[in-house]
Amino acid sequence: MERLTKPQILRALEALADALPAGTRTELWVVGGAALVLLYEARETTRDVDAFTLEAGGSGELRAAAGSVAARLGLPEDWLNDGAKGYVRGLAPGETVMSAPRLVVRSPAAYQLLAMKLSAWRDDLDVADARLLLSRIIGDRASVWKQVEPHLMPGRELKAQYAFEDLWEADRGPA
């Protein structure tokens, strides 16, 4: 499967905005690799755009529009998916990625994205992403952890805490 670059993602999101029904305004929250490509230039590509909306009933229109964009731009059917929403706990607003009349795309704050990466902690890519996100968060160990902790996936708190401690010590040294 072809990987998506920042310009491709932005083009797809603009096409998505155009494909949404007139008179609507959808708020889409982008997380995962796409957020790291779009906002932090963590890497050149991602395989998909993990995103979700909080609007009840809007997901059907969003899915239809995403399907239309996939067909028009030659993207995989699941280029836009909500597979990462299981890692979202609460919502700490971060940066706006783009804004169009029918669509605003936002990302959670860096500390919430870090919590998601620490909760997943699957591979070297998660470690590299978490390291980059940690570098963007100002504060001492306790204050950073206090921001991250409320956004950890239930049942993965201990694993995430160990990952955070290892990452902190590797990047910023012992407390």
Indicate if 121 and 139 belong to the same structural domain.
Answer: yes
* Position 1 pLDDT exceeds 60: no
Indicate if 100 and 18 belong to the same structural domain.
Answer: yes
pLDDT at position 73 is 96
Alpha-carbon distances of 126 from 10, 21, 79, rounded to whole Å: 23, 36, 20
Domain that holds residue 159: 112-172
Indicate if 54 and 11 belong to the same structural domain.
Answer: yes
Indicate if 100 and 120 belong to the same structural domain.
Answer: no
- pTM listed for this prediction: 0.92
pLDDT at position 172 is 85
Report, as an integer, the average pLDDT of 12-24.
95
Residues 83-134: tens digit of each pLDDT: 888 899 999 999 999 999 999 999 999 999 999 999 999 888 889 999 999 9
Indicate if 63 and 36 belong to the same structural domain.
Answer: yes
Q: Which of 38-42, 54-58, 97-101, 119-123 has the highest mean pLDDT?
A: 97-101
The count of other CB atoms within 10 Å of the CB of residue 87 is 21
pLDDT at position 58 is 65
**Torsion sign, CA atoms 85, 129, 126, 173:** negative
Indicate if 155 and 136 belong to the same structural domain.
Answer: yes
**Domain's final residue, options 108, 130, 159:** 108
pLDDT at position 80 is 96
* Position 67 pLDDT exceeds 80: yes
Domain count for the chain: 2
Rounded Cα gap, residues 131 and 94, in angstroms: 18
Indicate if 42 and 101 belong to the same structural domain.
Answer: yes
Indicate if 84 and 126 belong to the same structural domain.
Answer: no
**Domain's final residue, options 74, 108, 142:** 108
* Position 7 pLDDT exceeds 90: yes
Indicate if 30 and 94 belong to the same structural domain.
Answer: yes
Residues 134-172: tens digit of each pLDDT: 999 999 999 999 999 999 999 999 999 999 999 999 988
